[in-house]
Amino acid sequence: MDSELKEEIPVHEEFILCGGVETQVLKCGPWTDLFNDQSVKRPKLLIFIIPDSNAQEIKDIYGLNGQIEHKLAFLRTHVPKDMKLVLIGHSIGSYFTLQMLKRVPELLVIRAFLLFPTIERMSESPNGRIATPLLCWFRYVLYVTGYLLLKPCPEKIKSLLIRRCLQLMNLENEFSPLNVLEPFCLANAAYLGGQEMMEVVKRDDETIKEHLCKLTFYYGTIDPWCPKEYYEDIKKDFPEGDIRLCEKNIPHAFITHFNQEVANMIADSLKDDLSKM
């Protein structure tokens, strides 16, 4: 991106009640309330990022179905129906994205990016073969171990550990991720992970076919969650689709060191869509 095009984009953090649970929302841009803001500054497009996991009450909010309904509840309560959307899903967020398109096909989605998509055969992937027994059979051992080790640990020690890890990975800590070491959060992550291993099995070809013109898949060459074989299979079944294979050896957890490369790829891919608005 050219240096003269770079500008300081405001980022702020909010916590809202969505689906019966407190939800962290990071907003990039000057907007605050899309419903009540009718000024010329109101954006024409919302880019909704659905990461690897995190109104009316939602049953089993921390399970796979509950997480999908949670994202839809946010859109229903905080985004006007006439707002055009770009969905960006990473890892299991790609599965959420396909399910959102399936359940609410009237969403005004102009493009959906599925990055390193775990949308099929998760338990058969190299990482899945290791994670499945841990998350499905020994989950309660993880619960007890995490509780015994982390619950009595002082907040200052947790904060120090996290800051040290971020420094080793050369990451900036703009928003504190202290809650990742809370036993409650770890238990919820393990619970969701177990469901992913058991339920994300068959690729939803019907939904992919219906929305293929607005989907962009981005697979990795060194991804132990969705190996190159999965890319080859979907490319063979949907040869006309925008299905790409990374040529830069970007890992599945790209956010740690390759976030700018992926952001540039998405920005370049969106130029044609945005020029038509």
Q: How many residues does the chain have?
A: 277
Over residues 63-90, the mean pLDDT reads 92
Spatial distance between the Cα atoms of 135 and 123, rounded to a whole number of angstroms: 11
Lowest pLDDT segment from 45-54, 77-86, 126-135: 45-54
Interval 174-223: pLDDT, tens: 455 556 667 777 788 889 999 999 999 999 999 999 999 999 999 999 99
Lowest pLDDT segment from 131-140, 165-174, 260-269: 165-174
Clarify whether 242 is annotated catalytic: no
Tally of CA atoms within 13 A in the half-sphere of 99 that contains its CB: 23
Clarify whether 223 is annotated catalytic: yes
Per-domain residue ranges of the chain:
11-30+43-121+200-275, 126-196
* Residue in 52, 90, 91, 94 annotated catalytic: 91
Q: Is the pLDDT of residue 148 over 90?
A: no
Spatial distance between the Cα atoms of 276 and 27, rounded to a whole number of angstroms: 24
Query: Residue 1: its pLDDT value, please?
Result: 45
Task: Report the share of the chain in percent with pLDDT over 70.
Answer: 82
Query: Residue 128: its pLDDT value, please?
Result: 95
Q: Is the pLDDT of residue 152 over 60?
A: yes
Question: Assign residue 249 a region: left if phi > 0, alpha if psi is -120 to 50, beta otherwise?
Answer: left
User: What are the φ/ψ torsions at residue 23 (nearest 5 degrees)?
Assistant: -125, 130
**Number of helices (H) and strands (E), helices first, in the chain?**
9, 7
Interval 33-62: pLDDT, tens: 776 666 656 677 778 887 765 544 677 888
Please tell us whether the domain made up of 11-30+43-121+200-275 is placed in CATH 3.40.50.1820.
yes
Clarify whether 91 is annotated catalytic: yes
Over residues 136-157, the mean pLDDT reads 75
Query: Residue 56: its pLDDT value, please?
Result: 47
Query: Residue 193: its pLDDT value, please?
Result: 92
